[in-house]
Structure 1
Amino acid sequence: MNVIHRRGWNMPESQATPEHLFFNRRDFLIGGATAIAASSFAAPASAQRVADAKDPTADLYPAKRNEMFTLDRPVTDEKLNGNFNNFYEFGMQKTIAEAAQALPIRPWTVKIDGMVEKEQTLDIDTLIRKVGIEERLYRHRCVEAWSMAVPWSGFPMAKLVAMAKPLGSAKYVRMETFMNPKVAGEQRKTWYPWPYVEGLTMAEAGNDLTFLVTGAYGHPLPKQHGAPLRLATPWKYGFKHIKSIVRFTFTDKRPVGYWEMLQSSEYGFWANVNPEVPHPRWSQASEEVIGTGERRPTLLFNGYGAQVADLYKGLEKTERLWA
């Protein structure tokens, strides 16, 4: 008999947020989601599905679910999230789904460089097929105090690290998104620190929870969510989840991320969820579950402490671990 030992952050699949809620966040929270869901959400979702048919890896979806990664709440409805996304290359507002469709995601290559045995450039489709994909249910907590639960498809970042063969002197992984001002209008604004950058320690990158995402809700990743490759670290605030990654650089220098460059007093390198440390402009003690109106107490490390707390032992008094 197979016995699945549930971890503290596990939840039954029956309680996962419904697929049709995942694509619109803040509009829902401010009370306009009902009307929006009935009208403006359908078109972008349909347009994305047409494009998905051309994805060379579409036959890999839906990926087999890894039952070690389940939830304590329903999966967020896919359609609610589809038109409510942070992707600042396409606009500072949340409704960027239509603009994001301009991003060409094939051909797409990923460069691995820096402190590695040998620099390499990988075709995204070759990479995906080589490492294989699985589905995981993750919940996420935004620094803006809302939360969601998503069925991501992808692979552990540890697999990419193993392929990269970093040198022992490498301490961090610096990730960089695309740079294409012709299709991403915000990148023409030179007062922002483009291209978008984020970083992880080698220990964070190798943690089992750290996931490189290629799909969601049983199909290839929509462009507004960071296709064809994005990051998911569920114990960190969502601004750490870099989208449309083109480069992984292994380095001994701590990367300074996009938001830290813009406003370091509010958005730090570590960005671990901690309900006891407020954002300078609002409390982080509770969160609103998108699509429900329900408020819940915020959990330390977003409830994933058993898997990640050891990464930060001894740093509490010397490092600012929270956003």
Structure 2
Amino acid sequence: MSKNHNGLKPSEITPEEVFFNRREILRSAVALGLVPAVATTAHGAPLPPSGEFTALQNWPGSLSEAPNSYEEITSYNNYYEFGTGKGDPVRNAHTLETDPWSVSVTGEADKTGTYTLEDILAPHTFEERIYRFRCVEAWSMIVPWVGFPLADLLARFEPNSEARYVQFFTLNDRRQMPGLRSPVLEWPYREGLTIEEAMHPLALMTVGVYGKVLPNQNGAPLRLIVPWKYGFKSIKSIVRIHFGRRQPQTSWNMAAAREYGFYSNVNPNVDHPRWSQATERRLGGGLFAARIPTLMFNGYAEEVAHLYSDLDLVRNY
């Protein structure tokens, strides 16, 4: 049992029978009018105009460790569309326009189309989850994210049996994003998951942090959090979701395939080509902070290891 979950069993996060049958449950609920169809114009509560969430549900699986400060979480970021330095996004992301916002859904699903942010958010209840994330090479942080299960959103689009992967795309707008002028990556930024990873109850579609709406530098208004990936796969400012048959391209794999594989599971027993992955330091502790062991699957091995039971985690990194 993962000690990071204070003894919480996977079945206590989402009942197994509910998780595996959620697509049919949601389809039936839509047919009966109990849940609004994705294609309808939503009239539910969007992101709070005040910028602060007032009725969050605390997720019982949250870590007991104290989170990093709001300042640390919002001023030390990877968001190359606003610069490659960790302090660049907080200085430059004020140019990002998040209202109005829409998300295009394409590929192997029955309900494709373009939906407003209000359409996306209306049926969901926000909850605060505290996860531990690796942010860059040796550093990690504890972040209280606000969001809802990614699986609950994806099920509403009714992916069909051909949907083996889910790909996500970030906004690609040079007028708003000065970093796009740099060829450091091939734009737009993109990420991908297997359908099993995407439908896992730990994966979070995220809209806030520390009880507040996401600031631009943290990926407003909609970003992905996959907690067992140590911060990888956390694509920001999502504008497109694509269900596909084949393994999709991901930005860092395209840029440096030898260093960044599709799965992006940080294996502490295997060195990155340019550094050790065995230990890390908590952001905010200073250069002389004690190093702590990097955990396999970020401490969520019991919950997610079965997703990779048929993979060689050295070759499939």
TM beyond 0.5: yes
- 2:315 aligned to which of 293, 313, 320: 320
Say if 2:129 is the partner of 1:136: yes
Instruction: Give the 5 Å matches for 1:51-200.
Output: 56=49, 58=51, 60-61=53-54, 63-67=56-60, 69-95=61-87, 96-190=89-183, 192-200=185-193
1:164-187 Cα shifts (integer Å, max 9, x gaps): 101101100010000110121121
1:290 Cα offset (Å): 1.1
**1:263 matches 2:256:** yes
SS of residue paired to 2:58: coil
Correspondence for 2:246? 253
Contact 2:278-2:293 within 8 A present in 1 as well: yes
1:156·1:212 contact (CA, 8 Å) conserved in 2?
yes
Moved over 3 A (4+): 54-62
- CA distance in structure 1 between the aligned counterparts of 2:182 and 2:6, rounded to whole angstroms: 43
The CA deviation at 1:321 is: 3.0
Q: Distance in 2 between matches of 1:194 and 1:276?
A: 32
Match of 1:33 in 2: none
Q: CA deviation at 1:255?
A: 1.0
In structure 2, C-alpha distance between the alignment counterparts of 1:258 and 1:221, rounded to whole Å: 23
Q: What's the CA shift for 1:118?
A: 2.6
Shift of 1:320: 2.9
Match of 2:283 in 1: 290
The one-letter code matched in structure 1 to 2:233 is: K
Percent sequence identity is 42
Distance 1:281 1:62, change over 3 A: farther
Can you give the 5+ residue segments of structure 1 that lack an aligned partner in the other structure?
Answer: 1-5, 13-53
1:8 aligns with 2:20: no
Where does structure 2 lack aligned partners over 5 or more consecutive residues?
A: 8-46
Q: AA paired with 1:240?
A: K
* Mapped contact 1:236–1:302 kept (Cα < 8 A): yes
- Which amino acid in structure 1 is aligned with residue 102 of structure 2? T
Q: 2:220 aligns with which of 223, 227, 250?
A: 227
Q: CA deviation at 1:63?
A: 1.5
Q: TM-score, normalised by structure 2?
A: 0.81
Deviation at 1:10, TM superposition (A): 2.2
Contact persistence 1:139–1:234 (CA under 8 A): yes
CA distance in 2, matches of 1:62, 1:300: 34
- State the Cα distance separating 1:294 from its structure 2 match: 2.9
AA in 2 matched with 1:266: E
RMSD: 2.0
Q: Contact conserved, 1:140 with 1:237, CA < 8 A, in 2?
A: yes
Q: 1:237 aligns with which of 230, 242, 247?
A: 230
Count, aligned residues: 274
Shift of 1:8: 2.7
Answer yes or no: is the 8 Å Cα contact 2:73–2:143 preserved in 1: no
TM-score normalized with structure 1 length? 0.80
